[in-house]
Chains A and B, each alone.
Chain A
Amino acid sequence: MSRDPASGMAAGSRPRRPVFLQPLQIELPVTATVSFGHRVSGLLLALALPFLAWVLALSLRDPAGYGRVLAGLHSLPARLVLVLLAWALAHHCAAGVRHLLFDAGIGTTLPVARGSAWAVHAFALAVAALVAGGLW
């Protein structure tokens, strides 16, 4: 899609009128960043699922496989991935609990929803930091 740098316009094709829609030029409250984080973390966790099945199969196969999993998890790339996945899991769980509370009608006023959004971000980063601390 072509964009005009001055106005940030997307060249609208249907309808024939132009449309201003440039997410980076529109304010993003903390409730929106948590929602986006929920989506990104969910995608990361879904991508990790086949690897989880693989690790499970390998670790249960024989002592050699179990040793390979343990050694593999301590390699540098694996540790970086584990920290990322720890963030994703913590964020997805915390934001999910927040969603379930919303569904029950709890915390849906803007000040409370903003507070819980900050809490989700803080919790996820804290868990990631703890896991990083545990792995190094």
Chain B
Amino acid sequence: MRLSIFRYNPETDSRPHMQDYEVTPAPGDRMLLDVLERIRTLDDSLAYRRSCREGVCGSDAMNINGGNGLACITPIAGLKEPVVLRPLPSFPVIRDLVVDMTRFFEHYHAIRPYLIRHDPPPEREYLQSPQEREQLDGLYECILCACCTSECPSAWWNPERFLGPAALLQACRFIVDSRDQATDERLEQLDDAYKLFRCRVIMNCTHVCPKGLNPAAAIERIRQAMLRRGL
């Protein structure tokens, strides 16, 4: 199996380069991450993140043949060779396939990803009807791997001020939560020219989401909530 992998070592390289690899997958190797692990037995200088190796932690997001995805749940069968691996587009590269996620998580924190209550907390748990709980389906499953935000052209051109699809999907998750009492503040916070409204529904986010979520639709849901709130 032939691969072409983005290499950059900040200590020795003035600029990144692509390095070719030829590796024979073992019989048990099914996913791209298995092949990367095999490459690392030959070349232990190759850096990438990985942890759960089953599509839950979101660590091994990378650009695979032009599209973002998680190496651990990308089957090697059907991948066009040479498999071109690059770090997440538009994210600063720390080393090889490892990118700096600082700004991504700053945007995530900016939407205040936790329940905000003004009333005193109930004696026991917050209750929700099954219908209210259903509103969160397709939102709470996000693992913050950044595949979507990294492939969003609106985020490419305004990375500092546009929050990006991942943070906005999370914003929607708290806006529609019946237990949250800061809906107004949340909607007002997002109502400027940049944070949400750079989104042009290009839908690259939905196209690449490895969990099959739909950030574009979540952003439209926020806009509808803003409209209802104002009218």
Chains A and B directly touch (beta carbon < 8 Å): yes
Q: A9 contacts B204, CB within 8 Å?
A: no
B63 at the interface (CB under 8 A from A): yes
Which residues in A have their C-beta under 8 angstroms from that of B67? 26-27
Q: A19 and B92 in contact (CB under 8 A), knowing A9-B15, A32-B202, A103-B223?
A: yes
Taking residues whose C-beta sits less than 8 angstroms from the other chain, chain B's interface range is 35 or more
Q: A110 and B206 in contact (CB under 8 A), knowing A102-B220, A105-B220?
A: yes
Q: A110 contacts B220, CB within 8 Å?
A: no
Interface size on A, residues (CB 8 A): 31
Q: A110 contacts B203, CB within 8 Å?
A: yes
Q: Using an 8 Å CB-CB cutoff, how does the interface string of A98-113 with B read, 1 for contact, 0 for none? A: 0100110100111001
Q: B15 contacts A109, CB within 8 Å?
A: no
B177 to chain A, nearest CB (A): 19
B95 to chain A, nearest CB (A): 9
A31 at the interface (CB under 8 A from B): yes
Known: A19-B91, A20-B87. 18 other contacts (CB 8 A): A4-B17, A17-B92, A17-B93, A18-B8, A18-B92, A19-B90, A20-B6, A20-B89, A21-B90, A23-B156, A27-B67, A31-B201, A102-B216, A105-B221, A108-B201, A108-B214, A108-B220, A110-B207
Write the residues of chain A forming the contact surface with B, with a CB cutoff of 8 angstroms: 4, 6-7, 9, 11-12, 15, 17-23, 25-27, 29, 31-32, 35, 38-39, 99, 102-103, 105, 108-110, 113
A116 to chain B, nearest CB (A): 11
Q: B63 contacts A20, CB within 8 Å?
A: yes
Q: A31 contacts B16, CB within 8 Å?
A: no
- CB pairs A–B below 8 angstroms (10 shown): A7-B6, A7-B17, A15-B100, A19-B90, A26-B89, A29-B204, A31-B207, A35-B201, A105-B220, A108-B220
B25 at the interface (CB under 8 A from A): no
B73 at the interface (CB under 8 A from A): no
Which residues in A have their C-beta under 8 angstroms from that of B92? 12, 15, 17-19
A111 to chain B, nearest CB (A): 10
Q: B15 contacts A18, CB within 8 Å?
A: yes
